[in-house]
Amino acid sequence: MRKLYSILIVLIIVGSTKLKAQDHNLSVDASKSFAEIQPTMYGIFFEDINFAADGGLYPELVKNRSFEFELGLMGWEEPNSDRHSFNQNSGKAQLVKYSDSTNNHNYVLVTVNDPEGYELINQGYRGMGIKKGEQYRVSFDAANKGAISAVKFELLDEEDNLVSSTTVPVNSINWKSYETEIIPSETVEKAKLRMTFEGTGDIWMDMISIFPKNTWKGRKNGLRKDLVQLLAAMNPGFLRFPGGCIVEGRTLAQRYQWKKTVGPVEERETLVNRWNEEFSHRLTPDYFQSFGLGFYEYFQLSEDLGAEPLPILSCGIACQFNTGELVPMQDLDPYIQDALDLIEFANGGPETNWGKVRAEMGHPEPFQMKYIGIGNEQWGPEYIKRYKEFEKAIRAKYPKIIIVSGSGPFPDGEYFEYGWEQLKEMGAAIVDEHYYRSPEWFRENANRYDHYDRSGPKVFAGEYAAQSVAIASPENKNNWETALSEAAFMTGLERNADVVTLTSYAPLMAHKEGWQWTPDMIWFDNLQSYGTPNYYVQKLFGTNSGTNLLKITEDGKELIGQEELYASAVTDSNSGELIIKLVNTSSEEKSVKLDVKGTRLGSSGKMMVLQKQDLSAENSFENPTNIQPVEETIKTGSQQLEVSLKPYSLNVLKLKMS
């Protein structure tokens, strides 16, 4: 009996010690700010990967509308015409090169022999998403060279039922633009376009487009509304565009050239998308860039979102994971000129060469661009050599522009060390770092920046995401474990906001069928979109970034993940709030007492809780808000409060200060 008692006593002591370990007494002094939180702290990284632009944010429904893909008729089908035989009795479509056009190279010559039998079909980007009752602009250019009197446009559902149609008379022998409207009678996720013809003979056609009128801000050539709304809700401090590796190209000829993406859309030269055949397990041979979403639209989107535009340009090195092609140093000038001209395009008056282009596109006021990035994931001496030349030229002409440099694709190792050493020595302003690592890495590296040199360059955590399996594995999931680990890591970014001034998750978006890379923050199909748990983590940080950094301590030490508890604290001088972020990555509930000095609190506050017991849980099209923040009201004393943190939770406390 005695023995049993002593065992029980030991168990009680062990149990209570264990319980004790879950209690935390934290302190924060709201009057002692250690740094300002830059408004750019939480931003967005946009790249046209996973159909993020064409087929996604850029809502054109017709794929290869301008017949500019490498195989000019890709995306188009003629079911009743056998291209491989002479038996093309009903009619045929042929690609023709313009004799005088510079960027828009091709048009299609359609010959109709049998108007009853001939049809031209476009399947869109994995189908066309159309909504019942909404208006779609149907437009095209044509030169009628025969006896065709009209072109009929029909939208068909997955079973080929007619959902809407319009017939447009074509009355000019010369090139002429036509425009009409179509209103579907049903909502269809994967509709297709069928074109038929009245009369016979030849007709030349180009820029065949079906475009929603209900775009973000109702703009012509505008962006997909639901996707922009998801971005706007994040309150992003900056928008980095257009990538990513897409900036570099697999070869220099395939690099992103911003000048080819501005001006009239039909004059923007189509380019292959470098992600089309990058991964043999996710081949997307029909992935091209129409540049309907080009640099003007990116600047406009940044302005709409209240985000600093942050364009990244080629430094004269193609992707080093592909060819690594180098532009010789003596030929670097045009690349540098592109950077200088871009600054003029964004910031110059309408009387300047490039400012005029912007003004003619509808934005006479400058975009007030402050940042420019040179190179994406470049490494080694060839990068540093080229970067130096850019820096010299930009600093000489535009000393106020802040230049972002890069430290390569990895967060450590030879390339990283070399890049940092060189850039530091040169006095670079901001260095971009990328990390695609395991969830454990994120949890274990929340102290990454605690010992960075405070007098060196600032850090742009420009691309990061926890990979549940391995980097870019097609099996990666946007599950709760990855999001929670990122949240823990982000408290470390925030605690070091004096060094880390810009951060962004990557990649941003993915089409459920058109993707190449996982994980991604936002998923969409042709009609719907949803934010992953990683999205909600970003959103909670972005909408609660605050303005001034504080220190949050336990027993005099900063919390950096001890006992699986991570924390950061800020005040917001605009809202008069004290904002505390607490991340509990353990499987146990934690009880936290917080002593607040330097201010007085009201009698209650708010706590936003993002939590799931199941670390493998995800959001999905069927259950898009399976994991989303829940708001609770908490009682507070004037200088003390007590909260309980659920297992595996991110908690954002918002406390009004008097």
Angle between helices 353-360 and 333-347 (to 10 degrees): 50
Q: Are 446 and 560 in contact (CB under 8 A)?
A: yes
Burial class from Cβ neighbours inside 10 Å (0-12, 13-18, 19+) for residue 304 reads: middle
DSSP 3-state of 429:
coil
- Using Cβ positions, the residue closest to ligand AHR within the complex turns out to be 244
Residue 561 tokens, joined: 């993940």
CB of 226 to ligand AHR, least distance (A): 22
- Name which position in 256, 258, 489, 517 contacts ligand AHR (CB under 6 A): 517
**Residue 324, CB-side half-sphere exposure with 13 Å CA sphere:** 9
Residue in 179, 117, 168, 163 with CA at minimum distance from that of residue 144: 168
- Name which position in 348, 409, 439, 492 contacts ligand AHR (CB under 6 A): 409
Nearer to ligand AHR, 81 or 503 (CB): 503
> What is the C-alpha separation between 524 and 304, in angstroms, rounded?
21
> What is the C-alpha separation between 250 and 258, in angstroms, rounded?
16
Residue 611 tokens, joined: 């939590």
Instruction: Verify binding: residue 514, ligand AHR, rule CB under 6 A.
Output: no
| Footprint of ligand AHR on 243-282 (CB under 6 A) | 243-245
Nearer to ligand AHR, 216 or 420 (CB): 420
Instruction: Verify binding: residue 506, ligand AHR, rule CB under 6 A.
Output: yes
> What is the C-alpha separation between 367 and 501, in angstroms, rounded?
21
Instruction: Verify binding: residue 314, ligand AHR, rule CB under 6 A.
Output: no
Catalytic residue among 47, 78, 377, 486: 377
- Name which position in 33, 47, 379, 422 contacts ligand AHR (CB under 6 A): 47
- Could you confirm whether 377 is annotated as catalytic? yes
CB of 377 to ligand AHR, least distance (A): 5
CB of 519 to ligand AHR, least distance (A): 10
Nearer to ligand AHR, 111 or 503 (CB): 503
Nearer to ligand AHR, 251 or 548 (CB): 251
Rounded to 5, what percent of the chain is helix, strand, coil? 25, 35, 45
Nearer to ligand AHR, 222 or 244 (CB): 244
> What is the C-alpha separation between 15 and 175, in angstroms, rounded?
84
From 6-14, 116-124, 238-246, 615-623, give the range in contact with ligand AHR by CB under 6 A. 238-246
Residue in 264, 238, 111, 166 with CA at minimum distance from that of residue 501: 238
CB of 408 to ligand AHR, least distance (A): 10
**Centroid of chain to Cα 471:** 18
> What is the C-alpha separation between 246 and 181, in angstroms, rounded?
34
- Name which position in 338, 463, 494, 577 contacts ligand AHR (CB under 6 A): 463
Instruction: Verify binding: residue 520, ligand AHR, rule CB under 6 A.
Output: no
Instruction: Verify binding: residue 108, ligand AHR, rule CB under 6 A.
Output: no
> Count residues contacting ligand AHR (CB under 6 A)?
12
Cis peptide before 285 (omega within 30 of 0): no
CB of 449 to ligand AHR, least distance (A): 21
Instruction: Verify binding: residue 377, ligand AHR, rule CB under 6 A.
Output: yes
From 241-249, 563-571, 609-617, 620-628, give the range in contact with ligand AHR by CB under 6 A. 241-249
Nearer to ligand AHR, 509 or 550 (CB): 509
Residue 72 tokens, joined: 């000019």
Instruction: Verify binding: residue 433, ligand AHR, rule CB under 6 A.
Output: no
Q: Are 98 and 104 in contact (CB under 8 A)?
A: yes
CB of 321 to ligand AHR, least distance (A): 7
CB of 435 to ligand AHR, least distance (A): 10
Instruction: Verify binding: residue 507, ligand AHR, rule CB under 6 A.
Output: yes
Bridge pairing between strands 402-406 and 430-437: parallel
**Residue 33, CB-side half-sphere exposure with 13 Å CA sphere:** 16
CB of 529 to ligand AHR, least distance (A): 19
**Which amino acid appears at position 299 of this protein?**
F
CB < 8 Å & 24+ apart, contacts of 81-89? 81/118, 88/113, 89/113, 89/114, 89/117
Instruction: Verify binding: residue 308, ligand AHR, rule CB under 6 A.
Output: no
Residue in 417, 635, 629 with CA at minimum distance from that of residue 543: 629
Instruction: Verify binding: residue 157, ligand AHR, rule CB under 6 A.
Output: no
CB of 254 to ligand AHR, least distance (A): 14
From 132-140, 242-250, 441-449, 525-533, give the range in contact with ligand AHR by CB under 6 A. 242-250
The residues that touch ligand AHR, with contacts defined as CB under 6 A, are: 47, 49, 243-245, 376-377, 409, 463, 506-507, 517
Residues designated as active site? 377
